[in-house]
Amino acid sequence: MKSKLALLLIGILVCSAVPVSAKAKKKPKKKPTRSKKMPTKVQQAQPKVVGGFFASETSSFSLCYLFDFSAPTKTFPTVTQEVLLDITRRSSQDRIHFISADSLIPKEPMFQNALPVLATAENKRTAEAFVKTLKPYETTDPVAAFYRAYEVLNNSKQPGRVVYYLTDGNSANPTKLLAEIKKLKAAQPEGKNIYVNVILYSKAPTPAALANCKKITTLTSGRFKHCKVDPAAKPSPLPAKPKCSFLGVGTNDDNVLYLIDRSGSMLDTFDEVKLEMILSISQMSSTQKLHTILFKGDKPQEPKLKTIPAELTDENKLVIAKFLNNVVPIGRTDPIPAIMRAYEIASAKETTGKTTTIYLLTDGLFPDNTTLVQTIKTLQAALPAGKTVKINTILYSNKPAEAVKVMEEIATLTGGEYKFVPQEDN
């Protein structure tokens, strides 16, 4: 296992254009105790629409985007662009899938995890690549696509399940489609409704197309939206991607420092975190510099690089890959020495560039939150003139309330971003 991981890490770093296609094998992990489930008769409410073409959820949902467009249609570039925008907005706690109804066998992206997948940075990249390949077809079969969508969403344990049915209203047999959706709804367990939100993209749809779309939403307690897209209008531009992104948290700063918990509690998840680090480093801008610091209860561990922070050369990437591969999580957690070391690097005269981002990742509680926060306040105040440091905090896998509080406080204090990333459960 260790040698295989080493080869994978080194391969990704040296050949940065090659995406990660597999995750490290996980060790069985004891599931945390959860509160009792709600009675099956209680259904989770639909998300509120807050703008754009799609809904924004206040809690985690499972979403399936179903494309049904027949050629010729001039609105399709707008549709795909809006979907790409929506993918970027998805929380890492959402689950997502995509289906194109362009044949008897619906097309789907090749995700590496159980469907629907968590909206992690890696899965979003796979989804974006799939959406960019889509095109309208002469004939479509949304019935087969709907059966597949229901099958996928029923795999999810989340109570909120939504199909976004994106269509131009030109389905070959709308009566059959409605009848089959009735069958799917009737077969659902009590209290496990799947909402179908229909978004009709057409400047001037026929009365029959409008009526059929509204019938689907009424049947499934979904929502209907008519987008009168002008074929001549330009699609909304996608937001510029950051120079560096780690687990979906981006930065354009000159220097990037990874501060990663390597204590014993990380034993079950550390291989996953290492792969995410390597993927992040492989896609960084060549104008940025980086360093890696691993912490537990004693002196932090660092790779032996010629300069710190290091330039993005193949040699430096290889040094970091070998360093990470030899680490085994053990001991207790204390981030303070690593935090002090990171600020020392950011403040040094030898460190070129004025802006530094620290990614602070852990899976649980720190021993002394008060001292940690006070230490960061002191270090922030002591930064040389013109130098700035922000800390992006990431809670991985576990979410104790006390840890959430301190990680949010650190991010707010330094102008960074807090994010919780659940562990992918295959």
CATH number of the domain encompassing residue 174: 3.40.50.410
Is 223 in the same domain as 360?
no
Which of 164-168, 195-199, 231-235, 247-251 has the least mean pLDDT? Answer: 231-235
Q: Residue 54: which residues within 8 A CB-CB, separation 6 or more?
A: 82, 86, 89, 164, 199
Report pLDDT for 236: 62
Is 302 in the same domain as 395?
yes
Is 259 in the same domain as 147?
no
**Could you say which of 171, 192, 227 is where a domain stops?**
227
322 neighbors 3 (Cβ within 8 angstroms) = no
The CA distance from 67 to 394, in Å, is: 34
Residue pLDDT, tens place only, 376-414: 999 999 999 999 999 999 999 999 999 999 999 999 999
**Residues of the domain holding 121:** 55-227
**How many CA within 13 A on the CB side of residue 426?**
11
Residue pLDDT, tens place only, 136-154: 887 777 999 999 999 999 9
Is 95 in the same domain as 187?
yes
Q: Is residue 4 assigned to a domain? A: no
Count of domains for the chain: 2
Q: How many residues does the chain have?
A: 426
> By three-state DSSP, how is residue 416 classified?
coil
Q: Which amino acid is at 103?
A: S
Model confidence pTM above 0.75:
no
Q: Residue 211: which residues within 8 A CB-CB, separation 6 or more?
A: none
> Closest Cα partner for 227 from 169, 293, 266?
169
Is 249 in the same domain as 387?
yes
Q: Is residue 22 assigned to a domain? A: no
B/e letters for 289-308, b = 16+ CB within 10 Å, e = fewer, are bbbbbbbbeeebbbbebeeb
Q: Is residue 395 assigned to a domain? A: yes
Is 219 in the same domain as 262?
no
Chain centroid to CA 410: how far?
22
DSSP annotation of 238 reads P
Is 86 in the same domain as 218?
yes
